[in-house]
Structure 1
Amino acid sequence: MKKVSIAAVFLTLALSLSGCLNDDGANFYYTTLPIESVETPDTLVYGETDSITVTYSIPNLCHQFAGIDFSNDTQSSDTIQKRTFWVVAQAQTGDECEGAQSVIKEYKFGLEVRYRESYELRFITGVDSDGEYTFITRTIPVKEEEEE
């Protein structure tokens, strides 16, 4: 009886995992979406988190917002903090997405101000004819927290 139980468990396990063997690969990929406009504060306050709002374009229903990502482009010799931001989307593959209408969306996120230097914030808006990224750039001074 023990041999029958072991064989039944093995057969059940093999059948349940056989669906995983026919994986045709991922049916999605990640992509960058263009940022249409940006709302930033005029000044940042050291030690606080300030809000930034980006407006971006989703090209069709097969793209879903996945988040905002950024790179810290500051070099040790810089006297300004440099950040580059972009919108990340998960896009499904397939022909059913072609021709759908684009949608404009907004996303608000917080920027934690950890440095006293001004911040240069660059937001990717697309790619030019040479294949280089284009940006909306904002340089924002940082002030010390005001005492009440």
Structure 2
Amino acid sequence: MKYLWIMIAVLSAISITSCELPEEGLRVSYDVVAVDSVQMPATFNFGQTYDIPVFYKKPSDCHVFEGFNVTPELNIRNISTVLARLDGGDCVDGNLPEEQSLRFTAASNGSYIFRFFNGVGANGEATYLEYDVQVLE
């Protein structure tokens, strides 16, 4: 029993002194980045799940993949890539290529239109990479 109390005391001391955050705390900001390309299948089979490779560039090595923001509108899927930027360290800037997979299940018949955010055009409007994919029975 004595050793159990010693282990609890040691673990408590380690947990209190490790992983201290700076006084101002860890700051995280979020960025939406343009998709460069997508390896979209020509067709989907109804009910099957697909991993769709999506390619983009990270602005720095302090950016980490946060996820895809998918907004459905009937059979249209508007998709943007969201990165989290962890502030507080030395970052190496540059267009660092990265790939993530978008998991999608073909849950209805007909077709899906995928619109991947591709940047902002000269007139200030968002541009998209568009794919129309038929669902086979």
Whether the TM-score (by the shorter chain) exceeds 0.5 is yes
- Once the two structures are TM-superposed, the CA of residue 130 in structure 1 deviates from its matched residue by 3.0
User: 5+ residue gaps in structure 2?
Assistant: 1-15, 17-21
Q: What is the match of residue 11 of structure 1?
A: none
Q: 2: CA distance between counterparts of 1:30 and 1:142?
A: 34
Query: Matched residue pairs, number?
Result: 117
Q: What is the match of residue 77 of structure 2?
A: 83
User: RMSD of aligned C-alpha atoms?
Assistant: 2.1
Q: 2: CA distance between counterparts of 1:40 and 1:114?
A: 17
Contact 1:125 1:133 (8 Å CA) reproduced: yes
Q: 2: CA distance between counterparts of 1:33 and 1:39?
A: 17
- Deviates further, 133-142 or 86-95: 86-95
User: 5+ residue gaps in structure 1?
Assistant: 1-15, 17-21, 75-80
After superposing on structure 2, the runs of 4+ consecutive aligned residues of structure 1 that deviate more than 6 Å are: none
After superposition, residues 22-101 of structure 1 pair within 5 angstroms as 24=24, 27-74=27-74, 81-93=75-87, 96-97=90-91, 100-101=93-94
> Deviations along 1:57-97, whole A, 9 cap, x unmatched?
101112111112200022xxxxxx10011111001346944
Q: What is the match of residue 133 of structure 2?
A: 140
Q: 1: CA distance between counterparts of 2:89 and 2:104?
A: 38
- Once the two structures are TM-superposed, the CA of residue 50 in structure 1 deviates from its matched residue by 2.0
For the pair shown, the structure with the greater C-alpha radius of gyration is: 1
Q: What is the match of residue 113 of structure 1?
A: 106
TM-score, normalised relative to structure 1:
0.70
Q: What is the match of residue 131 of structure 1?
A: 124
Contact 1:85 1:123 (8 Å CA) reproduced: yes
Between Structure 1 and Structure 2, the one with more strand by share is 2
